[in-house]
């Protein structure tokens, strides 16, 4: 005889979705979702508060771990890290935003596949290095960029990091999601080794690289269509100003 599964605690997921759609404060959204989930599961108020307090105690050192690298990155940017990255990539004539991001996608997937997930990331790699290099490569080809294109390149840089990490870490045998899947399958009576789960993550990672790499290649073509004519006009205007001088 199967016992009835209480699905009401899943209402916490709906609270999170609605909260982020309405752009409420993330801390308030998470706290509200935890409280709603607890009441939906039939927990008394005291137990809900105890669970929230236990979680806070366990993660109270997390802000320190996050803020210390941000301070180092901030100092590096203040002393010209972004500018140096743009200048360096601008000296490579064959570099384009799409080619640069394809290389980063490959490196990000390979390093995540061996467990080195901390080598990339938005605050420590994308913001100070990858996005400025993508902007510098594009400026080197087309001149000064409109703000819309600049923000688009930053978004593509962040998306590339996400894709590389998400599909690369699924190949790492000690990744938490793999351990969770193995545990759930074992409880269901299916015995499988973590190495086998990780191995079957390789085709997905390869497909992700090919698909996103094709999108990045198309990004170069799109930038060429959008900025190619304007870049030629800027160069001719600069040449005319030089002749007049």
pLDDT tens digits along 83-142: 776 676 767 777 899 999 999 999 999 999 988 888 888 888 898 889 988 998 898 888
The answer to which of 19-23, 36-40, 56-60, 217-221 has the lowest mean pLDDT is 56-60
Report whether pLDDT(245) > 70: no
pLDDT greater at residue 230 or residue 161: 161
Mean pLDDT of 137-152: 90
pLDDT band of residue 178 (cuts 50, 70, 90) is confident
- Check residue 156 and give its pLDDT: 96
- Check residue 100 and give its pLDDT: 93
Dihedral angle at the C-alpha atoms of 90, 91, 92, 98, nearest 10 degrees? 0
- Check residue 108 and give its pLDDT: 95
Report whether pLDDT(167) > 50: yes
Q: What is the DSSP string of the chain?
A: -PPPP--GGGHHHHHHHHHHHTT--HHHHHHHHHHHHHHHTT--HHHHHHHHHHHHHHTTTHHHHHHHHHHHHHHHHHTTHHHHHHHHHHT-TT--HHHHHHHHHHHHHHHHHTT-GGG--IIIIIIIIIHHHHHHHHHHHHSSPPHHHHHHHHHHHHHHHHHHHHHHGGG-TT-HHHHHHHHHHHHTT----HHHHHHTTHHHHHHHHHHHHHHHHHHHHHHHHHHHHHHHHHHHHHHHHHHH-
- Check residue 213 and give its pLDDT: 96
Report whether pLDDT(65) > 60: no
What is the average pLDDT value for the chain, to the nearest integer? 82
pLDDT band of residue 1 (cuts 50, 70, 90) is very low
- Check residue 68 and give its pLDDT: 61
Mean pLDDT of 136-165: 92
pLDDT in tens, 22-41: 888 887 888 898 899 889 88
- Check residue 182 and give its pLDDT: 84
- Check residue 64 and give its pLDDT: 57
């Amino acid at each position: 005889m199967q016992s009835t599964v209480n699905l009401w605690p899943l209402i916490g997921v709906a609270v999170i979705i609605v909260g982020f759609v309405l752009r409420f404060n993330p801390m308030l959204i998470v706290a509200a979702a935890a409280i709603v989930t607890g009441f939906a599961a039939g927990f008394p108020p005291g137990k809900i508060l105890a669970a929230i307090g236990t979680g806070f105690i366990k993660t109270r050192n997390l802000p320190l771990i996050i803020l210390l690298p941000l301070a180092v990155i901030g100092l590096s940017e203040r002393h010209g890290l972004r500018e140096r990255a743009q200048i360096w990539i601008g000296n490579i004539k064959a570099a384009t935003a799409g080619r640069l991001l394809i290389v980063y996608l490959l490196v990000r997937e390979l390093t995540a596949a061996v467990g080195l997930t901390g080598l990339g990331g938005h605050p420590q790699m994308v913001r100070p290095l990858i996005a400025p290099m993508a902007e510098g490569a594009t400026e080197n080809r087309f001149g000064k960029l409109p703000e819309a294109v600049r923000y688009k390149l930053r978004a593509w840089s962040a998306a590339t990091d996400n894709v590389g990490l998400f599909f690369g870490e699924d190949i790492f045998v000690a990744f938490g999601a793999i351990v969770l899947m193995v545990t759930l399958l074992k409880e269901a009576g299916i015995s499988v080794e973590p190495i086998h789960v990780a191995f079957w993550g390789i085709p997905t990672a390869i497909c992700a690289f090919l698909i996103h790499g094709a999108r990045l290649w198309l990004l170069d073509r799109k930038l060429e269509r959008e900025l190619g004519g304007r870049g030629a006009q800027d160069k001719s205007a600069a040449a005319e100003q030089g002749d007049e001088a």
